[in-house]
């Protein structure tokens, strides 16, 4: 054996061989861009591929000024540069001096057509998007059962809320059968009555993420009754699943943060709501008590018993007022009566005196006109058989029997003769 070399020595030797090769030092390669990343330093990392092979590439910041467009996955480009070795990883790659755009790649073209188709169908419209429940407790996950994506979702979910329940459907997320597996996972978890479902995977090239652009996956997301969060790739990666989902997260970790509310926030919210509820109930109770007191006063005022009591009080007042008024009237009447009585007594005395005088005069007249007194003077009172007073001789007939009344008795006589001649009583 000629000698033993270190890894660095071998890598430096190979690098020198690349430098001495005329073709590799000035080469133009065409292919489709994938897994393109813009680094904060300004460098651009990408992969150049065709149907059978891939080649890593880098364009340093000092060369990016020559780039007249933004490099993106799916673009067909021609890269001018040199092939050399990155000794730290023993990896050869193309160091781009210039990149020219040849056209959009087949996948990118298909992607744009599908995107336009579903947009025209209204699949991306806001009116079909459901809100993610603020306190989701049952969360479904459609992703590979191994890898960083599912672990990130589990770790963040449990850290934010240890009581959350996670339902994992282990799905293929890359390859020809991935679309069937992802669709089956969405449809299965949609039947479990979950609060929301996270669908996604970690980053990759447009080919790696293509399953999330498939029509059947887009249809499954759109038709799901459960709110869905799409978390495919990195922040710069967009799939059709992102557009049709109810919410898009830049990464699986971000999806877990969107789906799971921190338990401490829930406790604070619950405590605040509890205090608010107690305060509102106390205010409501005070309002009800005030209203009850008001209604009680109104009831007392307008109730039959209250009205009766008021009427009794009023009647009592009226009775007292009437008694006072009656007493006053009686007093006034008594005074008037006493005055009238005195006047009446005076009038009656005067009337009585006048009546006595008149009576005396009348008595004297009666006495003078008394038939008995006349009879004592020698006169008699004569009646016929019927008791009628005989006042005139013309009333008598011969042979008629008459009765005569004298002062000291009566006598019956028979008329012998009747003379009609008047005679002088003075003789």
Per-residue pLDDT tens for 298-332? 777 666 766 677 777 877 878 788 778 877 877 77
DSSP letter for each residue of 357-425? HHHHHHHHHHHHH-HHHHHTTT--EEE-TTS-B--SGGG--TT-EEEEEETTEEEEEE----------T
At 352-372, the pLDDT tens digits run 888 888 888 887 777 766 666
Q: What are phi and psi of 77, to 5 degrees?
A: -135, 165
- Residue 1's pLDDT is 42
Please check whether residue 115 is in contact with residue 124, taking contact to mean a CB–CB distance below 8 angstroms.
Answer: no
- Residue 166's pLDDT is 96
Angle between helices 178-189 and 215-223 (to 10 degrees): 10
- Residue 197's pLDDT is 97
Domain 7-104, CATH among 2.40.50.140, 3.60.15.10, 3.40.50.620, 3.40.640.10 = 2.40.50.140
Cα–Cα distance for residue pair 139/134, rounded to 1 Å: 12
- Residue 427's pLDDT is 47
Cα–Cα distance for residue pair 8/86, rounded to 1 Å: 11
Mean pLDDT (the chain, rounded): 86
Please check whether residue 404 is in contact with residue 410, taking contact to mean a CB–CB distance below 8 angstroms.
Answer: yes
CATH number of 110-261: 3.40.50.2300
Q: List all residues 6 or more positions away from 278 whose beta carbon is below 8 Å from its beta carbon.
A: none
- Residue 172's pLDDT is 95
Q: If you compute the radius of gyration of the chain from its CA atoms, what whole number of angstroms results?
A: 71
- Residue 369's pLDDT is 66
The residue that leads in pLDDT, 184 or 364, is 184
Does the pLDDT of residue 214 top 90, yes or no? yes
> What are the domain boundaries of the chain?
7-104, 110-261, 373-414
- The region of weakest confidence among 4-8, 37-41, 422-426 is 422-426
Q: List all residues 6 or more positions away from 206 whose beta carbon is below 8 Å from its beta carbon.
A: 34, 73, 74, 105, 107, 108, 111
Angle between helices 252-259 and 148-160 (to 10 degrees): 30
Does the pLDDT of residue 225 top 50, yes or no? yes
Please check whether residue 371 is in contact with residue 381, taking contact to mean a CB–CB distance below 8 angstroms.
Answer: yes
At 105-156, the pLDDT tens digits run 677 788 889 999 999 999 999 999 999 998 899 999 999 998 889 999 999 9
């Amino acid at each position: 054996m000629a000698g033993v070399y270190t890894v660095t020595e071998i890598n430096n030797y190979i690098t020198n061989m690349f430098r001495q090769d005329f073709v590799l030092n000035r080469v133009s390669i065409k292919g489709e861009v994938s897994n393109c990343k813009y680094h904060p330093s300004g460098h651009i990392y990408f992969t150049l591929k065709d149907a059978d092979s891939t080649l890593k590439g880098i364009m340093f910041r000092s060369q990016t000024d020559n780039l007249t467009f933004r490099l993106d996955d799916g673009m067909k480009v021609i890269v001018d540069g040199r092939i050399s070795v990155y000794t730290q990883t023993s990896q050869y790659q193309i160091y781009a001096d210039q990149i020219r755009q040849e056209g959009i790649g087949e996948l990118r073209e298909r992607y744009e057509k599908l995107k336009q188709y579903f947009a025209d169908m209204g699949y991306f419209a806001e009116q079909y998007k459901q809100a993610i429940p603020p306190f989701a407790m049952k969360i479904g996950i459609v992703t590979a059962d191994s890898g960083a994506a599912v672990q990130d979702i589990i770790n963040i979910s449990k850290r934010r809320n240890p009581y959350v329940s996670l339902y994992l459907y282990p799905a293929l997320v890359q390859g020809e059968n991935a679309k069937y597996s992802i669709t089956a996972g969405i449809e299965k978890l949609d039947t479990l009555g979950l609060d929301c479902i996270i669908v996604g995977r970690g980053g990759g090239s447009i080919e790696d993420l293509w399953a999330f652009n498939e029509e059947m996956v887009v249809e499954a997301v759109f038709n799901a009754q459960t709110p869905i969060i799409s978390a495919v790739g990195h922040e710069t990666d967009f799939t059709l699943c992102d557009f049709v989902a109810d919410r898009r997260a830049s990464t699986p970790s971000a999806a877990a943060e969107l789906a799971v509310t921190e338990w401490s926030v829930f406790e604070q919210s619950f405590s605040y709501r509890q205090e608010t509820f107690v305060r509102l109930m106390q205010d409501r109770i005070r309002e009800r008590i005030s209203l009850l007191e008001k209604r009680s006063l109104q009831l007392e005022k307008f109730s039959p018993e209250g009205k009766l009591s008021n009427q009794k009080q009023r009647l009592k007042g009226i009775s007292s007022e009437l008694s006072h008024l009656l007493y006053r009237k009686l007093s006034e009447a008594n005074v008037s009566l006493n005055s009238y009585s005195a006047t009446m007594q005076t009038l009656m005395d005067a009337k009585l005196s006048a009546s006595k005088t008149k009576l005396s005069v009348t008595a004297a007249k009666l006495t003078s006109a008394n038939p008995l007194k006349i009879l004592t003077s020698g006169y008699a009172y004569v009646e016929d058989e019927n008791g009628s007073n005989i006042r005139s001789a013309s009333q008598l007939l011969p042979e008629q029997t008459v009765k005569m009344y004298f002062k000291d008795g009566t006598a019956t006589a028979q008329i012998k003769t009747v003379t009609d001649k008047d005679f002088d009583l003075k003789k």
